[in-house]
Chains A and B, each alone.
Chain A
Amino acid sequence: MRIVVLTKPVPDTTGAERLGPDLRVDRTASPAVVNANDEYALEAALKLVEAAGEGEVVLLSMAPASAPETLRKALAMGAHRGVLVTDPALAGSCTLSTARVLAAALRTLEFDLVLAGADTSDGTGGVVPAGVAALLGLPYLSYAGRIEPSGGRVRVHRLSPVGYDVIEAPLPALVVATQALGEPRYPSLKGIMGARSKEIATLSLADLDVSVEAVGGAVGGAVATTRVLEVRPPVVRAATEIVREPAPVAAARIVEFLQTRKII
């Protein structure tokens, strides 16, 4: 079982993230961490390879040159190696460019499954994995709460508002992971030590043939399909009313408050 996990270093979500003067995400403003949803994908990939008793888990990332620091943590969790696509021209890429570059990079790798997180904490769009699947003609199975490969096929429980849909497709396929697959493991000390010597191969745009995905191979920030016009802080909420009264009084105040706001 050979699995590629799409892994994105994102700004730590503790509150220091910001946009730079070019209105792009300033990736030097706060330390990068592995995107939380990608860790669920990685955990699922590690369990699948362990259950198969053979195979490898490869991280694929499109990120700044500093990404290996962040990817080491994913390697410490148990991924076997990493592939990093990094190129100054990719800064400011839109989701379409990102999908095209990841698709071109995947064409250089051999795999049975590609796993991705449901979205990233910086972009939050959740549209890149579907784009990658469409570009590569891979069956796309999203919002997985369970992943069961067998006999050259993969069966997925796709979470629905009321439960789940059981969906199935032949391998190779692209599956989008969710938290319902289970908590990511903590790296062991052995894992952390071992991660230092694991390979992270670096590719630049020149190493990829993007012409299949984009006419003339045009990808990156210079040909982004979207641009930010303006950034502003959100409307400040009114000051909080604090109620410290016995339960019946507090309850009456809540009712009154909801009536004033015409909610009830």
Chain B
Amino acid sequence: MSGAIWVVGEMADGGLVRISTEIATLARDLAAASGGTASGVVVGEAPGAAAGELADYLPAVRAVSVAGADGRTAAATTAMAVADLIAAAGEPGPTLLLLGATPDGRDVAGMLSALLGWGVLVNASAVTWDVTVGGPVVEMSTFGGRLITTSTFTGSHGIVTIRPQSVTAEPAAGHGVVQSVAASDSPVLRPVALVDRVAEASAEAPIEEARIIVAGGRGVGGPEGFATVRSLAVALGGAVGATRAAVDAGWIPYATQIGQTGKTVKPALYLALGISGAIQHKVGMQTAETIVAVNRDPDAPIAEFADLFVVGDLFEVVPALVAALRSRGT
């Protein structure tokens, strides 16, 4: 495998999402290692602003305008536009597509895999270029984090989805060129109408992107207990997460759930309050750089993999911790 690497940018509210800047940084590194090129694609009704942001990280970005895209879901529109661009690029076109391991990124990657006949390597925590293999080597954590696998493609083309926070985003030395491209009109995929957008909670940043997460579990005891969790999150400038038990009990929305049937996160700090650390939760947070847990039960499984484990009542420890953080001006 050689040649061009394309980053498929992801948009939210007209701007670029942060994972795309992380992936663009990775794409530059891979291009340098492989002797190829890195560039970007952003698809939308008005992709200019997001394409401009992506051009801070890449030498060239294609901004594909799709009329009426805002009235449709992103996945089919983006996948179709990117597949058309690749068909139009001819040979040698791109050989490697990079997307986020996010809901939108997974949707687009799955569709592009089917449309192009290219394989997908998923949930990468690291990607390197291996001269011996002659292509990208993709590392992922599997079986609840008990194994790390490295994989590659058997053919000359591939798609990789990359976990948020796997790479530190760094802008390129110079601003890249944004090229406007009109989308061709070939509706291979059925469009899905976007009828309405509903914000339920106060618009918080996605927990996948949070540097610090304070999460509550069964030990939080109820919806009121999450006020205590939130007070610590505010004091640390972090986001609030939860276990499935807390979500199932209706204490906090599903969007905050971390674990096997929720989200996978990789923050710099994961502060677990009243969380036992069962395997279904552990799979979603164990790659956090630092794990601190507060739990009354000294035998909770999280004691096995936390860096710091405080045996105590979270309703006593958290207010003391918030006070200590405030007194040092954090």
Contacts and interface: CB of A to CB of B under 8 A. Distances in A.
Given A165-B196, A247-B313, A138 B120 contact: no
Interface of B: 12, 73, 75-76, 79, 103, 106-111, 113-115, 117-123, 133, 137, 141-155, 158, 161, 188-201, 203-207, 212, 236, 244, 247-248, 254-255, 257, 260-262, 268-269, 279-280, 283, 289-292, 294, 298, 303-313, 316-317, 319-321, 323-325, 328, 330
Contacts of A161: 12, 204-207, 255
Looking at chain B's contact residues, the main secondary structure is mixed
Contact of B76 (A140, A162, A231, A240): A140
Interface in A27-74: 36-37, 40
Contacts of B207: 161
Interface of A: 13-15, 17-19, 23, 36-37, 40, 94-96, 99-100, 103, 118-119, 121-135, 137-143, 145, 155, 157-170, 178-180, 183, 214-215, 224-234, 237-238, 240-245, 247-248, 250-255, 257-258, 261, 263-264
Contacts of A251: 317, 320-321, 323-324
Given A127-B161, A129-B110, A224 B320 contact: no
Contact of B158 (A37, A167, A226, A264): A226
A125 B105 CA distance: 11
B189 A134 contact: yes
A37 B313 CA distance: 33
B309 A242 contact: yes
Q: Point out which of A138, A158, A226, A227 has the most chain B C-beta atoms below 10 A from its C-beta.
A: A226
B145 A139 contact: no
Given A127-B113, A131-B111, A140 B320 contact: no
22 contacts: A96-B117, A100-B114, A125-B161, A126-B110, A126-B122, A130-B79, A134-B110, A140-B192, A142-B75, A159-B254, A166-B194, A166-B195, A224-B154, A225-B153, A226-B119, A228-B149, A229-B137, A238-B307, A253-B308, A255-B324, A264-B325, A264-B330
